[in-house]
Amino acid sequence: MEMKVLLHLADGFEEIEAISVVDILRRAGITIQMVSIMGKREVTGAHNITVIADVLYESVEYSDVDMIILPGGSQGTQIMDKHAGLNEQLVRAVEQGKWVAAICAAPAILGKLGLLKGKSATCYPGLEQHLQDADTSMPDSTIIDGNIITSRGPGTSPHFALTIVEVLKGLELANTIRQEMII
């Protein structure tokens, strides 16, 4: 059975956190789509790199989604945080035991939604207060707690992506890709 993974994009997203995740998951044979929540397929990142999303949020069927991924970037995170439909999908995914992964500033969205209550989580340094009711004491670059994966920032992107590969396809494949990419 093929997994359905969606990475959401909003103007101001952190490019390396989005593109490296898409790249590494595709290397692992995981079907991942970039979803624009901007009403148009062209989405411009925090460092003025424009990417073409695969689909628009409005055309996605979420009932068969296995994982929702949120890259960081201050402006992109603020836009995603205000997107009621995406927030609803995140809550539903966690309630249904589906995977949710967020990196850098994006775990703050999960915190505000109450999805990190009682969980260990991490984020970009200095944003921990937004991870409401989460244990942020672990210094790890990427943390898995239940069905939620969080990570710290641009430099942890490859590790974040490989952690996603590990939970979806196994440690052996993640280690093979890690070796091939010299990570």
Confirm if 143 and 74 have CB atoms less than 8 A apart.
no
CA–CA separation, 116 and 165 (whole Å): 22
Q: 10, 67, 100, 104: which is the annotated catalytic residue?
A: 104
Q: Say whether 123 is catalytic.
A: no
Whether the CB-CB separation of 9 and 53 falls below 8 Å is answered with yes
Q: Which residues are catalytic?
A: 104
